[in-house]
Chain A
């Protein structure tokens, strides 16, 4: 599976949009982009995933560039409860396991 590169940490003001970038320049055609987050002392929580089209659900939006080499997770109106480590993962459709990197620590500031 392709590797991902994420910033180690980011801050965001409460109520503003949080834009979390992820670089996956070696992604192959059958690999999906997944986002999970992990709030302190809890297990990871699924957020969203996509292949090539932009995706939106009740939690977030996922924007994937046309060349698929990078993506951005958008939390439209960040709250203090969104403070967490956010993991960007690429995984082929044939690989059953998810390989987590170190993620981005997002801190939402009041």
Chain B
């Protein structure tokens, strides 16, 4: 089966610019997650969707980050305006139903460099 697809693979922008990342989860997966991974650290959850509704966005910096999953399939994560500290890998993951103890499937991520 196809895995979690993310694009672009790499993105370089200047501070104060905006950027968007796209994620296509595994077909049929109801739950979608966005994680941020700063170099040398483990991934940190930004937001979790169940179908097209937000389950948890408590760690999303909402003054500059936004995410949507309008039809309960693809998702977009946006940063506007970007700061230097947003340089990181942005990982998308999905799981089948979102029930506890399900395994998560991750994409390869988008590496963002903010100059």
Contacts and interface: CB of A to CB of B under 8 A. Distances in A.
Contacts of B100: 91-96
Nearest to A89: B42
Interface stretch (B14-22, B66-74, B78-86, B105-113): B105-113
Nearest to B45: A97
A43 interface: yes
A96 B58 CA distance: 13
Interface stretch (A20-28, A44-52, A70-78): A44-52
Contacts, number: 54
Interface in B29-82: 31, 33, 35, 40-45, 48, 55-56
Chain A: interface size category: 20 to 34
A9 interface: no
B42 to A, nearest CB: 3
Contacts of B101: 32, 49, 91, 93
A93 B56 CA distance: 16
Interface residues of chain A: helix, strand, loop or mixed (majority): loop
Contacts of A42: 106, 108-109
22 contacts: A41-B108, A43-B93, A43-B107, A43-B109, A44-B106, A46-B104, A46-B105, A91-B100, A95-B100, A96-B48, A96-B55, A96-B56, A96-B100, A97-B33, A97-B48, A97-B56, A98-B45, A98-B104, A99-B45, A100-B35, A100-B43, A101-B42
Interface of A: 32, 36, 41-46, 49, 87, 91-103
Interface of B: 4, 31, 33, 35, 40-45, 48, 55-56, 91, 93, 98, 100-101, 103-109
Given A44-B43, A87-B42, A103-B42, 20 more contacts: A36-B104, A41-B108, A43-B4, A43-B91, A43-B93, A43-B108, A43-B109, A46-B104, A49-B101, A49-B103, A91-B101, A92-B100, A93-B101, A96-B98, A97-B33, A97-B48, A98-B45, A99-B45, A100-B43, A100-B44
